[in-house]
Amino acid sequence: MLKNFLKDKRITTIFMIVFIFILSTFVFVIYSGNKKTVRKMTPEEVKSVVEAGNFVASNLRGIDDSDIVLGKKNAKVKVIVYEDLSSYYSAEFDKTLDMLRREVGDKVAIAFRPYADKMFPNSIYINLWSQCANEQGKFFEARDLLLGEIESDSLSEEYLDEYSKRIGLNQGLINECLRNEKYLPKLEKMKTEAEKFDVYGVPTVFVGSEMIVGARSFDDVVGNNGEKLEGMKNIIYRHLN
């Protein structure tokens, strides 16, 4: 009887191991199918990135429905911009993005992801306000206003009421959204996620799997030591081709 018991126990154990393996495989396939990641680069593409002085990203989350996107999501080239709408450098890079849109139009989709940092004054509440504005369908109006305020050196969270009036936001809803810090968990989550992709400052830009750190210019530039830094225009055309 003991022998039969042990035999039955072994069979049950084997069955459970096989069942867990099949279940794990199924979950992995489903997860992999739903998770949008950026495709891996070919060796030739990696070489081009390194020669341009940039980096290759790993495990980057691709553009999905949680993103705020300018252009068509099925565009040939997808660009992800981590930005802080209280940052001078994000405002500078926006000029490059404007030229890029005029140059290539809908061939490029640009996703904007917030990177709010408590170390910097205004950062949290300015980015919170932009997320609250997005709730009312006015993210890009809010973004343009904030970047313009940076340019005129007059950006301050003290003026958020005025900013809301200027772009026609519902004052009651926006105040409630800010008072409850409704999107603070989202901002914190986005920052934590960004750091998994080696984002530690703004702007950080991804063109496919290519990572560009800093407010890269539109055209190529030559540094003080004679080194060439590839501009966003040629980076994008490289990916288009």
pLDDT in tens, the chain (241 residues): 434 433 454 544 444 444 333 333 333 333 333 456 666 667 676 766 766 668 888 789 999 999 999 999 999 999 999 999 999 999 999 999 999 999 999 999 999 999 999 999 999 999 999 999 999 999 999 999 999 999 999 999 999 999 999 999 999 999 999 999 999 999 999 999 999 999 999 999 999 999 999 999 999 998 778 888 999 999 999 999 9
Q: What is the pTM of this model?
A: 0.81
- What's the CA gap between 89 and 226, in Å, rounded? 24
Q: Note the pLDDT of residue 41.
A: 66
Q: Note the pLDDT of residue 59.
A: 86
Q: Note the pLDDT of residue 27.
A: 32
97 C-beta neighbours (distance < 10 Å), count: 21
Q: Note the pLDDT of residue 24.
A: 36
**CA nearest to 214, candidates 239, 231, 194, 196:** 231
- What is the fold, at CATH topology level, of the domain defined by 38-240? Glutaredoxin (3.40.30)
